[in-house]
Amino acid sequence: MKITKKGRRSIVEGDLTPMIDMTFQLIAFFMVLINFTQAEQDEKVRVPSSEVAKPPEVPFESSLTLQMTRDAGVILDGSTFDLEALRPKLIAERQIADATREGGSTELTIIVRADMFVETGKVQDMIRLCQDVGFEKFALRAKDEKAAN
């Protein structure tokens, strides 16, 4: 069998420019949209929406976010508690607030993020527990309807 020698092969180079362009655009897109704020928004909690609930112009000086799931579990700092187990945690938070913040626990705002289908009584039980512990300021959180649409 006769093997013919092939002539000089030329190196085929793909044009990488469009791919790099597109990749840089994707990076720019994600960089612009990335959110570094430590917003406590658990995906299990679907907050109700409201057209007059506007994001605060100035963030709360001190706040504690309590999230209530549909089955009335309370999420605090990533862990889920029932109301009885929540009490010692709240007492500890109050002591920390009293020791470290001006105005103490009375100036700390409890942000209530409750699921839209949880029983209102359960939310009020949680608020009452906070009141028992010594907190006075509350913010009921709702999705900004206008921004959501």
Rounded to whole angstroms, the Cα distance separating 81 from 129 reads 13
Q: 123 to each of 17, 86, 102, how far by Cα in Å? A: 56, 13, 28
Q: Is 138 in the site for another protein (CB under 8 A)?
A: yes
Q: Binding segment for another protein among 1-9, 33-41, 79-87, 95-103 (CB under 8 A)?
A: 33-41
- Type of residue numbered 26: L
- Type of residue numbered 86: L
Our CB check for another protein shows the closer of 3 and 32 to be 32
Q: Binding segment for another protein among 1-9, 29-37, 77-85, 95-103 (CB under 8 A)?
A: 29-37
Number of residues that bind another protein (CB under 8 A): 56
Rounded to whole angstroms, the Cα distance separating 141 from 149 reads 17
Task: Choose among 102, 74, 71: nearest CA to 88.
Answer: 74
CB atoms within 10 A of CB 121: 9
Planar angle of CA 106, 109, 115, nearest 5 degrees? 140
Q: Is 21 in the site for another protein (CB under 8 A)?
A: no
CB of 39 to another protein, least distance (A): 5
Our CB check for another protein shows the closer of 50 and 62 to be 50
CB of 5 to another protein, least distance (A): 26
Residue 45 near residue 75 (C-beta atoms within 8 A): yes
Residues making contact with another protein (CB under 8 A): 16, 20, 23-24, 26-27, 30-31, 33-35, 37, 39, 41, 47-56, 106, 109, 111, 113-121, 123-125, 127-128, 131-132, 134, 136-144, 146-148
